[in-house]
Amino acid sequence: MPGLDLPFSSTEYARRLALIRADMERRGIDVLFLEDPSNMAWTTGYDGWSFYVHQGVIVFLDDDPVWWGRLQDANGARRTVWMDDDHVAAYADNFIQSTERHPMQDLARLLEAGGYAGKRIGVELENYYFSAKAYLTLRDELPNAEFIDATGMVNWLRAEKSAEELVFMRKAARISEKIMDGVFERVEPGMRKADLVAEIYADAIRGLDDAWGDYPAIVPLLPSGADASAPHLTWDGRFMQEGEATFFELSGCFRRYHAPLCRTVFLGQPPRYLLDAEKALIDGLEAGLDAARAGNTAGDIARALAGPLAAAGIERGARAGYPIGISYPPDWGERTISIRDEDTSVLKPGMTFHFMPGLWMDGWGLEITESILIRETGPAECLCDRPRRLFVKT
């Protein structure tokens, strides 16, 4: 029987499947194999912590998709996907971490039985979850097939969020606000970072009202002082120090949908250079938000941001954001559009981004960011509602 607690309506899943099939036909793909758990969930509803083993969703042009994975995870598929039980297929446990066999041999037999041994098979080659060994095994087992690189294919189809998806992202945003409010309330000199992160996780998982918290695709990032010059450091057992800035990169998560939010806290009296950077960054954010309009490009946002930063003598080489939505570890980005000067992707209503112009400078860092929605008209909407400023606590 189909999943008992599907996050979306049957109409929504049908819409997504129609988009995938249309793109398959355009690319000449006879059958598509999706390994990315975000794409698996978006297509079928599957939600389980099983992405550490080989699994996937097989999409056909003329039949419902098939979930394929480890035998012990098959019941999880039956509990969460919209397809009937006969569209759940599993391989035996002796394929797991074996030197004698590989799960892709089982997938090859499944595709062969369906008449696809000599067809054009789409696979997500550039993906965290599809190994070189998996591809080589599948190619060796199906020597007459033509493998088409479908990297990012479904990711791009996810770019424009439906009304149902935006409900989840707004709930995730409310959780993000709750988490950040808790940080501001609790943080103080002498507080152990590990203890603060414990409270962050408690707020994130408890959620609020009808929005229970799911686990985010990225752990809390909160480097302080000189460590804040690096964007991706986590926490340790050290204590919060007076005279240091700490940025907090966090996200609430609801039904796997994210709305990241970053703010920076300074304990004590911030130095002049940090206040000057704060002003330039806020001016850049405001300009970028105004440029984030349907019909403009991702590059337009980046150029609008760069103006106030350049005027303040601040140069940053990193991109300034990326699309967000449904995701699993290790990343809450959709890995398609990048907010940077050369990206000519046209912004469309329903697209959602983490507008993320972090400053990681020599010896210090500053992050003030927004999760944004491209609207039908006018500038982007910020999904979270918290002041854009450096928070000072004395």
Q: How many separate domains does the chain show?
A: 2
| pLDDT for res 339 | 98
Last residue of a domain, one of 117, 142, 157: 157
Residues 275 and 320 in one domain: yes
Q: Are residues 177 and 146 in the same domain?
A: no
Could you list the residue range(s) of the whole structural domain that residue 127 is in?
10-157
Residues 141 and 224 in one domain: no
Starting at the earlier edge strand, list the strands of the sheet with 381-382: 321-323, 352-355, 370-373, 381-382
- 81 within domain boundaries: yes
CATH number at residue 77: 3.40.350.10
Residue 257's pLDDT is 98
**How far apart, in whole angstroms, are the C-alpha atoms of residue 383 and residue 174?**
8
Residue 222 sits in a domain whose CATH number is 3.90.230.10
Asked whether the beta carbons of 304 and 321 are under 8 A apart, the reply is no
Is 76 domain-assigned?
A: yes
107, 56 contact by CB (below 8 A)? yes
pLDDT of residue 317: 85
Is 4 part of a structural domain of the chain?
no
DSSP structural state of residue 221: B
| CA–CA separation, 368 and 370 (whole Å) | 7
Say yes or no: 306 and 264 in one domain: yes
Which of 142, 157, 172 lies at the terminal end of a domain, its last residue?
Answer: 157
- Is the domain of 299 the same as that of 314? yes
pTM assigned to the model: 0.96
Judge if 93 and 204 occupy the same domain.
no
Residues 145, 68 within the same domain: yes
* Same domain for 213 and 74: no
Task: Examine the domain organization and report whether 62 and 169 are in the same domain.
Answer: no
Mark which of 157, 184, 214 sits at the end of a domain: 157
Q: Residues 122, 241: one domain?
A: no
Tell me the C-alpha distance between 199 and 247, whole Å: 16
Report the alpha-carbon angle 232-38-289, nearest 5.
Answer: 60
pLDDT of amino acid 3: 61
User: pLDDT in tens for each of the 394 residues of the chain?
Assistant: 566 789 999 999 999 999 999 999 999 999 999 999 999 999 999 999 999 999 999 999 999 999 999 999 999 999 999 999 999 999 999 999 999 999 999 999 999 999 999 999 999 999 999 999 999 999 999 999 999 999 999 999 999 999 999 999 999 999 999 999 999 999 999 999 999 999 999 999 999 998 999 999 999 999 999 999 999 999 999 999 999 999 999 999 999 999 999 999 999 999 999 999 999 999 999 999 999 999 999 999 999 999 999 999 999 989 999 999 999 999 999 999 999 999 999 999 999 999 999 999 999 999 999 999 999 999 999 999 999 999 999 8
Whether residue 135 sits in one domain with residue 26: yes
Q: Are residues 248 and 369 in the same domain?
A: yes
